[in-house]
Amino acid sequence: MLLVKQRSSRHSGRNSSNFQKTTEGRPATLCGVGVDLVSRNRVKQFLSRHRGYVRERFLNFSERRSFKRLSLQEFTELFTAKEAFFKACGEAWMGLEGFQGMRLKRCGGDHFEMEWRTGRTKKLYRGKGHFFRSGDLVGAQAMIWK
């Protein structure tokens, strides 16, 4: 469950650093939240049957270059991040080809930033997120702010 605190008047001013800001310094608006959770074993089974399909349709050019070096954990994190980010964008399903346009940047620890320009509407989305794990499960949560 994700809880978003509403900004109260007492948080205006110097103690507002816990809230997202726009480049102009104004508080940002949360526009989308996405969450994805998957079992590493399920991803392993899927890759054993569809490795070439995943590489060509799901990954962008730079991800394809490093695909052979990605561990199962790293690929699963990449997959959940893209799924969570897509859900946060709220766009109509565009097939796996749309995931090729998504770019993930790791920001240390379990945090990441993502960017995506949709093929259909050419709209640009930018967001942040983090990974979480429990046993065999790997998940990602992404948020888009404006």
Per-residue pLDDT of the chain (146 residues; tens, 9 = 90+): 444 444 444 444 444 444 566 556 667 788 999 999 999 999 999 999 988 888 888 888 888 888 888 899 999 999 999 999 999 998 887 666 678 888 999 998 999 999 988 877 778 899 999 999 999 999 999 999 88
Q: Describe the crossing of helices 72-89 and 40-58 by its angle, rounded to 10 degrees.
A: 70
Residue type, 8: S
Q: What pLDDT does residue 65 have?
A: 86
Please provide the DSSP assignment of 2-55 as one string: ---PPPPGGGSSTTGGGS-B-TTSSBP-EEEEEEEEEEHHHHHHHHHHHHHHHH
20 lies in a domain?
A: no
pTM for the model stands at 0.78
Q: What pLDDT does residue 81 have?
A: 95
First to last CA, the chain: 22
Q: What pLDDT does residue 101 have?
A: 84
CA separation for the pair 99, 44 (Å, rounded):
19
Report how many domains make up the chain: 1
Domain containing residue 135: 31-145
51 lies in a domain?
A: yes
Residues 6+ apart with CB under 8 A from 44: 72
101 lies in a domain?
A: yes
Indicate which CATH number applies to the domain containing 140: 3.90.470.20
